[in-house]
Amino acid sequence: MRPTEPSSPFGVVCHDAGGAGQIAAILLRWGWHPAWVQARGPAVEIFHRDMPYVPVRSELSDLHGIRAIITGSGWASDFEHEARLAARKTGVRSITVLDHWTNYEDRFIRNGERLLPDELWVVDEYAEGLAQQLFPGIQIMRVPDSYAERELSHITPLSTSTPNRVLYLLEPIRSNWGRKEPGEFQALRYFLAKWPLLNLPAETEICLRLHPSETPEKYAAFLDENAKLSLRLSQGSLADDISLARWVVGCQTYAMTLALAAGRAVFSALTPWAPQKVLPHPGIQYLREMAFA
């Protein structure tokens, strides 16, 4: 369904990559032009790349003259929460895009304060059902997954010429799952211990793709520790990385759903002691549920 264009002039406030990519794709799809974008973190590069004609600011500014804002729903910072708070105080309508299926309630709580937007936009029926269950009384609009449609158009279909490659999608877990190591490293170790049991071709290589919020330095020690496995970090775009892989592995990142839609075999490396799975998409295979787990 085509969403109703926010009352103009409107602004955009975003921090995380997922929200920025989805919001930029929505704006481009419908030809909408925000008065400005206020961005930090991975969102800065995305809006400079996708909408270079729109002013991008790094600081939250006065909302004077703005009638609505569209924000992401990241939890890596308080940036979007502060923007929604400012909108509430000044009577500016706020719209938040949910580009995922995880931790909905926590994304709107800071320091014990729960602050919901006036309207939520979701991109599929799974997110719509979850949002309706958790946020009764808030207007919820399901919009086309414009980001997925754009990315899928750049992914080469699976064929006999696709390399025998596993693409591992790294992501910050923000939990140690009750152990002494961040969850993302536990999942990666679990995958490396189990992947030989998948009986993939002997020459299969493993390529690690950083999450947009991560840096190569985060995994430098891990790569040194596992040098004999010849792991390498990708330098390409997400579409290129999926195009050059037959199998895709992650924990619960959005990019796994893109790979699934692109016809790749997709596995989750969530460990047996990790929380319950949250991606609702059928077709994702969980290593911990397989016979060799």
The predicted-structure confidence for 46-87, as pLDDT tens digits, reads as follows: 999 999 999 999 988 889 899 999 999 987 789 999 999 999
Q: Is residue 252 a contact partner of residue 246, using CB atoms and an 8 Å limit?
A: no
- Domain stop point among 103, 130, 152: 152
Same domain, 176 and 224: yes
Same domain, 107 and 220: no
pLDDT for the residue 2: 76
d(CA 24, CA 108): 21
Q: Is residue 159 part of a domain?
A: no
Q: Is residue 50 a contact partner of residue 56, using CB atoms and an 8 Å limit?
A: no
Give the type of residue at 282. P
Same domain, 142 and 266: no
d(CA 57, CA 287): 43
For residue 248, which of 168, 155, 148 has the smallest C-alpha distance? 168
pLDDT digits (tens, 9 = 90+) for 225-265: 999 888 999 989 999 999 999 999 999 999 999 999 999 99
pLDDT for the residue 127: 92
Q: Using the Cα atoms of residue 198, residue 201, residue 203 and residue 207 in order, give the sign of their dihedral.
A: negative
d(CA 222, CA 204): 20
Q: Is residue 158 part of a domain?
A: no
- Return phi, psi of residue 192, to 5°: -65, -30
Residues of the chain with pLDDT under 70: 1, 292-293
| Domain CATH code at residue 189 | 3.40.50
pLDDT for the residue 293: 58
pLDDT for the residue 13: 97
Give the tokens for residue 269.
């490396």
Classify 205 as helix, strand or coil. Answer: strand
Cis peptide leading into residue 144 (ω within 30°): no
Q: Is residue 5 part of a domain?
A: no
Cα Dmax for the chain:
62
Same domain, 144 and 208: no
